């Protein structure tokens, strides 16, 4: 982190110093988790859904924190005030500190901020772009999916004085959220991947999702660049909402108007690995084989390549970096091969109807007969897609029918919210042992340990809150270590 004095933070946030606070102290890190506190830290005591950070100030100070960023004064066991910067809203104060750091980096290094948003693919695209830009200069990007009002500042806090590129993943669950984030980091380059039905319940419909995602391009300066997915009509028409230059990425048989990087000849091999030709605006072409599974990653690859090209990286360098590059974050089409020949595909960090469909397509392709005519048995272990609102039953119903129509051999639906997927699979013609419904992860684990056979391919896919990613890890590890649960 770029070090800041307590006095600087007081000035940036407009906060009030508690009686025991030393304004001369220097902050070298910021965290919202008292377990991550080290010497020189500022502990952000934000109220949470399940716990209040103010209850952990003592623990943070004992671990080496210099002060807390708090919304009220708290006391030690000796009834003395904790050293703290008191602000009306700790999360908003984090944003003010992050904005100060971004401004400093732009003035010092001409640092470039890239904002990435979309209903799916943000984290993978962020990881790809960070890998690309790291070949050109010091780059900061989020850990995992740090993409909200807390995650974006935490990403910025990891920057150093040498940072040249800031890759910022931007998530939203309502209108105005991206406006807040863009106001904090002021991106020069904005990437919009897709508008799907993720969080439709919270947004109040897909139209509002489109409106919210477009806030990124609205925030771009006139000398900035908006990179839009030409294959998504809702994204492509965001061109009218920005003063920035607009370029398009995606897949096409010929270059679209105002093309950035576009893909042709995209295909997957028997192991699900994606190969494609990258076509660059300078007329050069480069064939790569990605380390990512599934043809839906064409969007993520061309988006990252386009951003890197706009920022001055050479096409050959971009292609060489992307060739063979795997996902940088866990639980995104993560493939693990067990010693007994069972393949695990753990894609259960997030889920919505679009990403579910893409994962099932990839699973179905992996189960097709190989050159020797041998087909692998496919399992789809599916949990709930959360935050779909009134569309939840319908979208889960569609999911079960889709699994049957794609000839997925075994369907395991986990949890009551996802049960419509099981019901629809049965109605679609999945009988007997082909479709299973289980109430929880324990039942799913027992079923899989009893029935998995060498050669099977198992997809785990659900929203984060359903927890299937942990079950996927357990199933992958149990036989890898030579044992069963």
Say if residue 197's pLDDT is above 80: no
Reduced to 3 states (helix: H, G, I; strand: E, B; else coil), residue 165 is strand
Confirm whether residue 117 is marked as ligand binding.
Answer: no
Q: Please, what is the average pLDDT of the chain?
A: 92
**Domain check: are 176 and 274 in the same one?**
yes
Q: Is residue 485 part of a domain?
A: no
- Give Cβ neighbours of residue 62 (< 8 Å, ≥ 6 apart): none
Q: Domain total for the chain?
A: 3
Q: Is residue 74 part of a domain?
A: yes
Say if residue 199's pLDDT is above 70: no
Say if residue 484's pLDDT is above 80: no
**Domain check: are 133 and 228 in the same one?**
yes
pLDDT of residue 483: 41
Tracing tokens 């993560």 back to the chain, one arrives at 334
CA distances from 354 to 113, 299, 360, 468 (A): 28, 13, 10, 18
Assigned token pair, 469: 């990613």
Q: Is residue 328 part of a domain?
A: no
Between CA 178 and CA 170 the distance in angstroms is 7
DSSP 100-153: HHHHHHHHHH--EEEEEE-SS-HHHHHHHHHHHHTTTS-EE--STT--STTHHH
Query: What is the average pLDDT across 355-367?
Result: 91
**Domain check: are 138 and 197 in the same one?**
yes
Which pLDDT band holds residue 390 (cuts at 50, 70, 90)?
Answer: confident
Tracing tokens 């799913």 back to the chain, one arrives at 444
Phi-psi region of 228 (alpha: psi -120 to 50; beta: other; left: phi over 0): beta
Which residues constitute the domain of residue 65?
4-88
Assigned token pair, 403: 């699994």
- Give Cβ neighbours of residue 271 (< 8 Å, ≥ 6 apart): 293, 366
Percent of the chain with pLDDT over 90: 79
**Domain check: are 419 and 292 in the same one?**
no
Which pLDDT band holds residue 485 (cuts at 50, 70, 90)?
Answer: very low
pLDDT of residue 355: 87
**Domain check: are 133 and 61 in the same one?**
no
* 346, 134, 156, 228 alpha-carbon torsion, rounded to 10°: -70
**Domain check: are 266 and 315 in the same one?**
yes
Among 88, 109, 144, give the residue marking a domain's end. 88
Q: Tell me the pLDDT tens digit for each residue of 21-62.
A: 999 999 999 999 999 999 999 999 998 877 899 999 999 999
Among 26, 60, 88, give the residue marking a domain's end. 88
The alpha carbon of 34 is separated from its chain's Cα centroid by a whole number of angstroms, namely: 24
**Domain check: are 168 and 246 in the same one?**
yes
Give pTM, 2 decimals: 0.86
**Domain check: are 347 and 441 in the same one?**
yes
Domain harbouring 472, CATH code: 3.90.190.20
pLDDT of residue 196: 78
pLDDT of residue 200: 58
**Domain check: are 205 and 354 in the same one?**
no
pLDDT of residue 481: 46
Between CA 108 and CA 91 the distance in angstroms is 26
Tracing tokens 């899989």 back to the chain, one arrives at 448
Domain harbouring 24, CATH code: 3.40.1390.10
Torsion angles phi and psi, residue 437, rounded to 5:
-120, 130
Q: Tell me the pLDDT tens digit for each residue of 95-142.
A: 999 999 999 999 999 999 999 999 889 999 999 999 999 999 999 999
Q: Is residue 482 part of a domain?
A: no
Q: Tell me the pLDDT tens digit for each residue of 429-439.
A: 877 789 999 99
Confirm whether residue 124 is marked as ligand binding.
Answer: yes
**Domain check: are 77 and 105 in the same one?**
no
Q: Is residue 483 part of a domain?
A: no
Q: Is residue 160 part of a domain?
A: yes
DSSP 375-391: PPPEEEEE----S-GGG
Torsion angles phi and psi, residue 345, rounded to 5:
-115, 105
Torsion angles phi and psi, residue 380, rounded to 5:
-115, 110
The alpha carbon of 411 is separated from its chain's Cα centroid by a whole number of angstroms, namely: 26
**Domain check: are 103 and 83 in the same one?**
no
Which pLDDT band holds residue 7 (cuts at 50, 70, 90)?
Answer: very high
The alpha carbon of 455 is separated from its chain's Cα centroid by a whole number of angstroms, namely: 30
**Domain check: are 392 and 266 in the same one?**
no
Partners of residue 227 on adjacent β-strands = 191, 247
Q: Is residue 145 part of a domain?
A: yes
Confirm whether residue 121 is marked as ligand binding.
Answer: yes
Among 267, 301, 322, give the residue marking a domain's end. 322
Give the angle 362-365-369 at the CA atoms, nearest 5°.
155
Domain harbouring 234, CATH code: 3.40.1190.10
Between CA 87 and CA 60 the distance in angstroms is 18
Confirm whether residue 119 is marked as ligand binding.
Answer: yes
Say if residue 371's pLDDT is above 90: no
pLDDT of residue 198: 58
Query: What is the average pLDDT across 256-264?
Result: 93
Q: Is residue 307 part of a domain?
A: yes
């Amino acid at each position: 982190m770029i070090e800041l004095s307590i006095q600087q933070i007081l000035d940036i946030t407009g906060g009030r110093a508690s009686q025991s606070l030393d304004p001369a102290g220097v902050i070298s890190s910021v965290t919202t988790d008292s377990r991550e506190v080290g010497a020189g830290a500022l502990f952000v005591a934000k109220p949470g859904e399940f716990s209040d950070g103010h209850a952990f100030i003592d623990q943070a100070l004992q671990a080496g924190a210099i002060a807390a960023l708090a919304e009220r004064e708290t006391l030690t066991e000796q009834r003395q005030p904790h050293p703290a910067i008191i602000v009306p809203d700790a999360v908003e104060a984090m944003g003010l500190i992050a904005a100060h750091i971004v401004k400093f980096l732009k003035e010092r290094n001409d640092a470039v901020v890239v904002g990435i948003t979309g209903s799916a693919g943000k984290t993978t695209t962020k990881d790809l772009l960070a890998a690309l830009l790291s070949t050109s200069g010091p780059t900061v990007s989020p850990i995992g999916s740090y993409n909200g009002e807390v995650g974006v500042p935490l990403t910025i806090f990891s920057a150093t004085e040498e940072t040249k590129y800031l890759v910022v993943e931007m998530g939203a669950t309502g209108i105005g959220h991206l406006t807040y984030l863009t106001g904090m980091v002021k991106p020069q380059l904005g990437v919009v991947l897709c508008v799907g039905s993720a969080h439709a319940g919270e947004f109040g419909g897909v139209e509002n999702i489109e409106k919210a995602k477009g806030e990124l391009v609205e925030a771009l300066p006139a000398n900035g660049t908006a990179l839009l997915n030409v294959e998504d009509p809702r994204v492509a028409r965001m061109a009218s909402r920005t003063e920035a230059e607009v370029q398009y990425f995606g897949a096409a048989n010929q270059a679209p108007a105002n093309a950035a990087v576009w893909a042709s000849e995209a295909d997957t091999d028997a192991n699900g690995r994606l190969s494609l030709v990258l076509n660059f605006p300078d007329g050069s072409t480069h064939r790569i084989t990605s380390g990512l599974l599934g043809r839906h990653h064409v969007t993520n690859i061309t988006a990252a390549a386009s951003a890197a090209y706009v920022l001055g990286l050479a096409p050959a360098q971009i292609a060489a970096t992307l060739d063979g590059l795997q996902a940088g974050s866990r639980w995104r089409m993560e493939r693990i091969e067990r010693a007994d020949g069972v393949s695990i595909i753990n894609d259960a960090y997030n889920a919505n109807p679009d990403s579910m469909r893409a994962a099932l397509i990839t699973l179905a392709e992996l189960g097709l007969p190989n050159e020797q005519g041998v087909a692998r048995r496919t399992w789809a272990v599916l949990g709930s897609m959360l935050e779909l609102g009134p569309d939840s039953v319908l979208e889960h119903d569609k999911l079960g029918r889709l699994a049957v129509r794609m000839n997925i051999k075994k369907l395991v639906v986990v949890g009551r919210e996802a049960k419509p997927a099981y019901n629809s699979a049965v109605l679609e013609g999945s009988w007997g042992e082909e479709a299973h419904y289980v109430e929880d992860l324990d039942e799913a684990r027992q079923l899989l340990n009893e029935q998995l056979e060498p050669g099977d391919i198992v997809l785990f896919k659900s929203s984060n809150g359903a927890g299937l990613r942990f079950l996927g890890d357990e199933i992958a590890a149990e036989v890898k270590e030579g044992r069963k649960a």
